[in-house]
C-alpha cells in the first residue's frame, strides 16, 4: 500500500515549527525563494518581467527593488494576495503553514488565536488563501493518453430535521421534502497527478465540467451511480459496483 502524502517528506517542506524559529531575515529570504523559485530566488520585476533590478530598501528596512527597464519599484509582496501588507512576513508564512496543513480546514477564529491578530484580519487572510488556491485550478486540464482519472461525488448540507412525532414525519429522500440547500462536491483526481474539485447541485450537473476539464483520451473510473452514464459517450469508462465489492468482502 502506497504511503499517504501527508506522511511523506514532501508534506513537510514548510512546517509551522520551522517558520516560528525563523528570524525576520530568514523569513524574508524564505519568502523571496518561494516567490521567485524559477530564478532561484533572484527578484524579477513584477511589472515588465525584467530580470535586472537593484535593491533600494525603504527607510524602515523593508525590502524593495527598482527595475532598470521600466523604472518602477516593487516590494516582496507586490502583485500577490499579500500586497499592501500590515503583518510581518513570518505571520503570513505561519498562516500558510497552518492553513494548508489542516486536513479538515481551519476556522478564521482559530487562525486569529494562532496568529495573535483580530478575527477580521484572519477571516480576510483565510479567504485570500482560498482565492489563491482556486486561481491555480483555473483552466487546468487533467489526464491524457495512457492516463487514468477517477471521478466521484459527495453530498453535503441541507439537513432536514425530522419531526418529533412519528406520524408527522415525512420522507426526506423526496425532493419536495428537502430544503434545496444540499450540494454535491465532485472531485476528479488523476492517478499520480493533480486533483480538481467543484461544487454542483447534483452529480449529473457536473458532466459538462468533467468533459471540459479532462482530456478526451483519458480513461475514467467511476462508481455505478447513473449520474455518470453520460460520460460513456466521450470517455473510455470503467465502473465499480460497490455492492459487489462489499459482497466479496463478506465471509
> pLDDT for 197-206, tens place per residue?
999 998 999 9
Percent with pLDDT over 70 in the chain: 93
The residue ranges of every structural domain in the chain are 5-135, 148-249
Q: 143, 186 in Cβ contact below 8 A?
A: no
Retrieve residue 81's grid coordinates: 494576495
pLDDT mean over 217-246: 86
**pLDDT-derived band of residue 1, with 50, 70 and 90 as boundaries?**
very low
pLDDT mean over 37-42: 87
Cα gap 63→86, rounded to integer Å: 14
Q: Which of 141, 104, 108 is nearest to 123 (CA)?
A: 108
Specify the range with the lowest mean pLDDT, choosing from 46-50, 57-61, 244-248. Answer: 244-248
* Residues in CB range of 162: below 8 A, 6 or more apart: 169, 170, 172
Q: What is the pTM of this model?
A: 0.67
Cα gap 224→236, rounded to integer Å: 15
Amino acid at each position: 500500500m502506497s504511503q499517504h502524502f501527508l506522511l511523506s517528506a514532501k508534506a513537510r517542506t514548510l512546517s509551522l515549527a520551522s517558520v516560528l524559529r525563523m528570524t525576520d531575515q530568514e523569513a524574508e529570504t524564505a519568502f523571496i525563494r518561494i516567490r521567485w523559485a524559477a530564478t532561484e530566488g533572484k527578484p524579477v520585476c513584477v511589472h515588465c518581467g525584467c530580470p535586472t533590478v537593484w535593491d533600494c530598501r525603504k527607510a524602515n528596512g523593508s525590502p524593495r527593488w527598482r527595475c532598470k527597464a521600466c523604472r518602477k519599484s516593487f516590494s516582496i509582496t507586490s502583485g500577490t494576495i499579500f500586497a499592501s501588507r500590515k503583518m510581518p512576513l513570518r505571520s503570513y508564512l505561519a498562516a500558510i503553514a497552518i492553513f494548508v496543513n489542516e486536513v479538515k480546514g481551519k476556522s478564521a477564529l482559530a487562525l486569529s488565536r494562532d496568529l495573535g491578530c483580530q478575527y477580521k484580519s484572519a477571516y480576510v487572510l483565510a479567504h485570500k488563501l482560498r482565492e489563491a488556491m482556486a486561481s491555480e485550478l483555473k483552466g487546468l486540464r487533467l489526464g491524457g493518453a495512457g492516463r487514468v482519472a477517477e471521478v466521484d461525488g459527495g453530498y453535503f448540507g441541507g439537513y432536514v430535521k425530522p419531526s418529533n412525532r412519528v406520524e408527522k414525519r415525512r420522507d426526506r429522500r423526496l425532493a419536495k421534502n428537502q430544503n434545496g440547500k444540499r450540494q454535491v462536491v465532485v472531485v476528479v483526481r488523476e492517478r499520480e497527478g493533480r486533483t480538481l474539485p467543484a461544487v454542483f447541485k447534483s452529480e449529473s450537473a457536473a458532466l459538462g465540467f468533467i468533459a471540459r476539464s479532462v482530456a478526451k483520451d483519458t480513461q475514467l473510473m467511476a462508481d455505478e451511480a447513473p449520474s455518470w452514464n453520460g460520460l460513456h459517450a466521450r470517455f473510455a469508462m470503467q465502473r465499480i459496483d460497490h455492492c459487489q465489492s462489499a459482497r466479496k468482502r463478506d465471509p
